[in-house]
């Protein structure tokens, strides 16, 4: 079956064509530049930009895949969670397409799709997902909007172990960047600056590191950066000190994410850790997760960067798995689900 998937939950307009577990096309129009001057995503602008980008992105994905609309066997879209105006554009467009084509429609949970993006990566040449090697796993989803640990007991069977009680880790990167004058989104910039900085230069808190739960908290860390910059204003005039500050904040975020992920995997008796979400592009996080998993004898599957950030391929891959598992399609009258909890 050939499936078209749309993702418009935040600031990426994406369309993908998926067939038999292979990603034939995954086109993403990023709105980063549009929102950069405001220092964060402006919901109204995001929705308008999705309206502008959606048809060109769908057209490009179909052309890249060499597939015509008439060949589609199903249409899927992100149903939630996400920004209301943004979600509505892709969700309603996909429902309309399914209606006109007389094909099944699938509304997909954005975070559930992230759980499956690490399985897309292994065969980069064909983009074929590797569900043949699927193992129960603890999955870390870490982006600008979310930070959570999920136990995936079997395909399509999962339980949230813990999540952030305040800011997401990506938000902590971005707000730290704002405090020291870096452009939005600051995560990738901090990643680069930290490379030449000393992660032990300054001591920042590791929130909830030793708590016996799987929750995260990053707003206190952001506040301690604010006080640190206020009390050491000269730091911003010294490029090396800025690099040291970036490395030190990054080290605090990465240590908490890695330690809590490994602990959750061990406690739940799984032998595999997976991870996705924009922050998984962070090179220190990727390296330290790899080292910690090797030490704990855990298999690690990291989503490729292009499947870590928001993309429609993961929506299509999960929609196809659901259809194959005999799950019923979503009603064409269904609405978006803004705060849809991942059970």
Residues in contact with ligand KG4 by the rule CB under 6 A: 10, 143-145, 170, 173-174, 185-188, 191, 277-279, 281-282, 309-310
Helix, strand, coil % over all residues of the chain, rounded to 5: 45, 20, 35
Strand, helix or coil at 278? Answer: helix
State the maximum Cα–Cα separation within the chain, in Å, rounded to a whole number. Answer: 64
Please choose which of ligand KG4, Zn ion, none residue 303 contacts, taking the beta carbon within 5 to 8 angstroms, the exact cut-off set by kind.
Answer: none
CA distance 310 to 319: 16
Exposed, middle or buried, 173 (CB in 10 Å: 0-12/13-18/19+)? buried
For residues 81 and 88, is the Cβ–Cβ distance under 8 A? no
Q: Which is nearer to ligand KG4, 72 or 114 (CB)?
A: 114
CB of 250 to ligand KG4, least distance (A): 7
d(CA 302, CA 281): 9
Closest CB to ligand KG4 among residues 107, 170? 170
**Residue 148 CB, nearest approach to ligand KG4 (Å):** 12
- Nearest CB to ligand KG4, comparing residues 279 and 293: 279
Judge contact between 71 and 63, C-beta under 8 A. no
Nearest-approach distance from CB 189 to ligand KG4, in angstroms:
8
Q: State the minimum distance, in angstroms, from the CB of residue 162 to ligand KG4.
A: 18
Q: Which of 163, 174, 255, 310 binds Zn ion (CB under 5 A)?
A: 310
Please choose, out of 32-40, 59-67, 263-271, 308-316, the segment that lies near Zn ion by the rule CB under 5 A: 308-316
- Which CB sits closer to Zn ion, 292 or 342? 342
* Between 32 and 296, CB nearer to ligand KG4: 32
Q: Which of residues 20-79 bind Zn ion (CB under 5 A)?
A: none
Q: With CB under 5 A as the rule, give the number of residues binding Zn ion.
A: 2
Residue 12 sits in the site that holds Zn ion (CB under 5 A): no
* Residue 174 contact partner, candidates ligand KG4, Zn ion, none, CB within 5 to 8 A by sort of partner: ligand KG4
The C-alpha atoms of residue 70 and residue 314 are separated, in whole angstroms, by 22
214 contacts which partner out of Zn ion, ligand KG4, none, CB within 5 to 8 A by kind? none
Q: Residue 24 in contact with residue 67, Cβ under 8 Å?
A: yes
Residue (2 or 248) nearer to ligand KG4, CB:
248
Q: Which is nearer to ligand KG4, 107 or 144 (CB)?
A: 144
Q: Is the dihedral of CA 174, 29, 11, 40 positive or negative?
A: positive
- Minimum CB separation of residue 28 from Zn ion in Å reads 12
Distance of alpha carbon 61 from alpha carbon 69, whole angstroms: 11
For residue 327, which of 131, 105, 36, 118 has the smallest C-alpha distance?
105
Candidate ranges 12-20, 78-86, 158-166, 305-313; the one touching Zn ion (CB under 5 A)? 305-313
For residue 173, the minimal CB distance to ligand KG4 (Å) is 4
CB of 335 to ligand KG4, least distance (A): 21
Cα first-last separation, the chain = 28
- Dist. CA 121–CA 275, nearest whole Å: 11
Q: How far is the CB of 276 from Zn ion (least distance, A)?
A: 8
**Positions in 102-161 near Zn ion (CB under 5 A):** 143
Considering CB distances under 5 to 8 angstroms, the limit depending on partner class, which of Zn ion, ligand KG4, none binds residue 278? ligand KG4
CB of 285 to ligand KG4, least distance (A): 7
CA gap 265, 298 in Å, rounded:
8
Closest by CA position to 178, among listed 12, 39, 296: 39
Q: Which helix (H) or strand (E) holds 319?
A: helix 312-324
The span from the CA of 25 to the CA of 17, in Å, is: 5
How does DSSP classify residue 262? H
Residues that bind Zn ion (CB under 5 A): 143, 310
């Amino acid at each position: 079956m050939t499936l078209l998937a749309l993702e418009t939950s935040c600031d990426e307009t994406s369309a993908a064509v998926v067939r038999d577990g292979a990603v034939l096309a995954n086109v993403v129009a990023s709105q980063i530049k549009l929102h950069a001057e405001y220092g964060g995503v402006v919901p109204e602008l995001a929705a308008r930009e999705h309206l502008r980008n959606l048809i060109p992105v769908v057209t490009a994905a179909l052309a890249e895949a060499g597939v015509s609309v008439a060949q589609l066997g199903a249409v899927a879209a992100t149903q939630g969670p996400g920004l209301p105006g943004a979600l509505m554009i892709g969700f309603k467009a996909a429902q309309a397409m399914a209606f006109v084509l007389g094909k099944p429609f699938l509304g997909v949970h954005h975070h559930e799709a992230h759980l499956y993006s690490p399985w897309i990566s292994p065969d980069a040449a064909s983009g074929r997902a590797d569900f043949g090697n699927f193992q129960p796993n603890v999955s870390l989803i870490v982006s600008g909007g979310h930070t959570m640990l999920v136990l995936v007991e079997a395909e399509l069977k999962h339980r949230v172990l813990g999540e952030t009680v305040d800011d997401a880790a990506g938000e902590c990167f971005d707000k730290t960047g704002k405090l020291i004058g870096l452009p939005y989104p600051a995560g990738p910039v901090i990643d680069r600056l930290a490379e030449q900085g000393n992660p032990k230069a300054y001591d920042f808190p590791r929130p909830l590191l030793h708590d016996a739960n799987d929750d995260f908290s990053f707003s206190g860390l952001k506040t301690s950066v604010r006080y640190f910059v206020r009390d050491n204003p000269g730091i911003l005039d010294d490029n090396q000190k800025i690099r040291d500050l970036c490395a030190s904040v990054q080290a605090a975020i990465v240590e908490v994410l890695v330690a809590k992920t490994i602990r959750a995997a061990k406690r739940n008796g799984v032998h595999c850790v997976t991870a996705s979400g924009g922050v998984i592009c962070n090179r220190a996080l990727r390296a330290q997760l790899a080292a910690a998993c090797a030490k704990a004898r855990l298999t690690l599957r990291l989503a490729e960067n292009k499947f870590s950030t928001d993309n429609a391929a993961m929506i299509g891959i999960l929609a196809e798995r659901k259809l194959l598992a005999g799950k019923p399609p979503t009603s064409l009258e269904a609405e978006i689900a803004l705060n849809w909890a991942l059970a």
